[in-house]
Amino acid sequence: MPALDDSVITQAEVEREDTAAVGAGLDVLEEPDRVRDPWWRRLGSSIVPPILALVVVLVIWEIVYLLKLKPEVMLPSPAAVWDELVRLMQGGQAWETIWTSLSRGLIGFAMAIVIGAPIGLAIARFPWLRASFGPLLSGLQSMPSVAWVPLAILWFQISPAMIYMVVLLGAVPSIANGLTAGIDQVPPLYSRVGQVLGLNWWAQTRHVLLPAALPGFLAGLRQGWAFSWRSLMAAELIVTSSKLGFGLGQLMNQGRDLSDAPLLYAGLILIFVVGVGVELIMFRPLERAILDARGLSTKKR
């Protein structure tokens, strides 16, 4: 039993009651830095490098063209392809063609989310489903979607349903696997908090697992879109019919049939631009919003 002398605590120390002040000071000092670069610098650092890369590609193209390594029917000049693009756009044909394909791609993608997300959730949450169907779904992801085209034609003949079947078989596995992977990466501590707060199975899924898995799911969605777009192009390139309307794949086929190299190159560029455009317009802002809200943006000062 230690005996203590009165002198160890002085009356002055007793009077000191500064917890609140010290706490408030700490709050100010430890306030995380919320400074952001001005918009023009952020824009500059994200837009200038890809434009430079594009210029390099164009310059190389022009040089190869000028060297006449390939005949013009195989490799037209960048200028000729540009003229072709301008012609397609001025006639309005490009927009119509893009819309035909893009709307199909987006509808297929939306259906793939509606089908894929519940599958991914079920596989993540029920061990016996994971054990049985998990490997099957992962395996489906590595199937080239073109391989489904003949079967899709057999089932649905030449019709939009056939196109959607190919798109879905391409995109659903990526989206489902993305959600499963996202849920698997949720820190166990979050689930433990959910249990302590008294969340039941469904509340745990809805309030903890799904929101926590969102960044991982977003990666799956991105991949799902890439697969939708690829599958769609594969289907459109293989099947040309008036029943299917005139999409980018059909435009490319036309270029091939007419041996119209500038048209073919223009078609390739349009397919590329749409794929990248959706990524930039849809996924970038979504990712930025999700990561910013959680303080997960890669850029730190």
119, 214, 235, 261: residue in contact with other proteins (rule CB under 8 A): 214
Regarding 19 and contact with other proteins (CB under 8 A), the answer is: yes
How near is the Cβ of 64 to other proteins at its closest, in Å? 49
Give least dist CB 292 to other proteins, A: 9
- The residue count for the chain: 301
Least Cβ distance, residue 295 to other proteins (angstroms): 2
Structure tokens at 183: 């849920």
The backbone torsions φ and ψ at residue 217, rounded to the nearest 5 degrees and listed phi first, read: -65, -35
The secondary structure element, H or E, covering residue 74 is: none
Residue closer to other proteins by CB (options 11, 242) is 11
Tokens found for residue 100: 């035909």
CB of 278 to other proteins, least distance (A): 25
Query: Stretches 12-20, 174-182, 231-239, 271-279: which one binds other proteins (CB under 8 A)?
Result: 12-20
Q: How far is CA 219 from the centre of its chain?
A: 6
For 84, 173, 268, the CA distances from 79, given in Å and listed in that order, are 9, 41, 15
Does 12 bind other proteins (CB under 8 A)? Our answer is no
Closest-CA residue to 224 (of 188, 262, 181) = 181
The C-alpha angle 55, 57, 60, rounded to 5 degrees, equals: 110
Interface positions, 132-191, toward other proteins (CB under 8 A): 189-190
By the rule CB under 8 A, 17 interacts with other proteins: yes
Kind and range of the H or E element at 148?
none
Residue 34 or 68 with smaller CB distance to other proteins: 34
Q: What is the DSSP letter of 35?
A: -
Closest CB 41 distance from other proteins, rounded Å: 22
Please say whether the beta carbons of 275 and 101 come within 8 A.
Answer: no
Interface positions with other proteins (CB under 8 A): 1-2, 4, 6, 8-9, 11, 13-14, 17, 19-20, 22-24, 26-27, 30-32, 34, 189-190, 192-193, 195-199, 203, 207-208, 211-212, 214, 293-296
